[in-house]
């Protein structure tokens, strides 16, 4: 799908064409229009719209026929039918002929736009996998945490953390050398609606400190009466310490 989705509106009623053109453009779409089935087929082949809103009752041919010809020509543009024909058999026929949705007149413009967006989401090709974002790696001293892969290492050695321990370490790494209160940690790691005891912070700091301490000096320090801080031990050179990505 194009960066700005292009919609082809096919209807022989000028007031409907004008209404849809204005509404779709307001919602960020590029809009083309046609008033006959033949013109719609030509525009679809030339302009390759991302979606077609197609009236079933056109002056030269019905919308079902237009959709059949689109598919026969190898054009897989998604089609949303727009029609006063609301019989169940008509809806089944429209979907059978290759349509993707069916909206009956009279219609609410907001609902039609919502359906257009839903069909585009459903029919768009999946995005290619993104390249790993190396700025997602947080560092302090010899500790690294990758927020994409959830890999944590200290001095190059992998450390297994629980999800809560991981979240706690991530919060400390994004706030190095800063004293964080228990309330701040609770809000960031357990969320504001946590109803348990605040001593859970002390327990998980103890777990995390123990796991990190197996591979080097303690980095999580207690500031009595205030909270905890991630900082180098006294007398340790800060050289090489970083919280930026690669």
Residue 175: partners with Cβ closer than 8 Å, 6 or more residues away = 230
Each residue of 119-144: pLDDT tens digit?
Answer: 888 777 665 555 544 458 999 999 99
**pLDDT of 90 above 70:** no
**SS3 state at 192:** coil
CA dist list (Å): 132 to 147, 160, 176, 204, 245: 10, 21, 24, 29, 12
Residue 27 DSSP one-character state: T
Alpha-helical runs (H) found in the chain: 14-26, 37-47, 63-72, 88-96, 109-123, 163-173, 182-185, 200-213
Q: Report if pTM > 0.85.
A: no
pLDDT range class, residue 226, cuts 50, 70, 90 = confident
With cut-offs at 50, 70 and 90, classify the pLDDT of residue 52.
very high
Q: Phi/psi of residue 83, each to 5°?
A: -160, 160
Structural domains for the chain: 6-123 (3.40.50.2300), 137-230 (1.10.10.10)
Average pLDDT value for the chain? 83
Q: Report the 10 Å Cβ neighbour count for 121.
A: 9
Collapsed DSSP state (helix, strand, coil) of residue 141: coil
pLDDT band at 2 (very low <50, low <70, confident <90, very high): very low
153, pLDDT greater than 80: yes
**Position 105 pLDDT exceeds 90:** no
């Amino acid at each position: 799908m194009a960066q700005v989705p292009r919609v082809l509106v096919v209807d022989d009623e000028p007031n409907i064409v004008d209404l849809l053109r204005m509404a779709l453009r307001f919602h960020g779409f590029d809009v083309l229009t046609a008033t006959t089935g033949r013109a719609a087929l030509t525009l679809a082949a030339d302009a390759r719209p991302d979606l077609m809103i197609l009236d079933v009752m056109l002056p030269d041919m019905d919308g079902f026929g237009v959709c059949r010809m689109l598919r026969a020509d190898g054009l897989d543009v998604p089609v949303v039918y727009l029609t006063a024909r609301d019989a169940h058999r008509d809806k089944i026929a429209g979907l059978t002929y290759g349509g993707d949705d069916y909206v009956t007149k009279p219609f609410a413009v907001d609902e039609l736009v919502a359906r257009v967006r839903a069909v585009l989401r459903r029919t768009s090709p999946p995005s290619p996998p993104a390249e790993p974002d190396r700025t997602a790696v947080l560092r302090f001293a010899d500790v690294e945490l990758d927020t994409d892969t959830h890999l944590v290492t200290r001095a190059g050695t992998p450390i297994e953390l629980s999800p809560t321990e991981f979240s706690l370490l991530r919060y400390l790494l994004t706030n190095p050398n800063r004293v964080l209160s228990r309330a701040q940690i609770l809000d960031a790691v357990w969320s504001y609606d946590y109803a348990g005891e605040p001593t859970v912070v002390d327990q998980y700091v103890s777990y995390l400190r123990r796991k990190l301490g197996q591979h080097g000096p303690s980095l999580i320090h207690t500031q009595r009466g205030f909270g905890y801080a991630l900082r180098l031990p006294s007398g340790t050179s800060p050289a090489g310490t970083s919280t930026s990505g690669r």
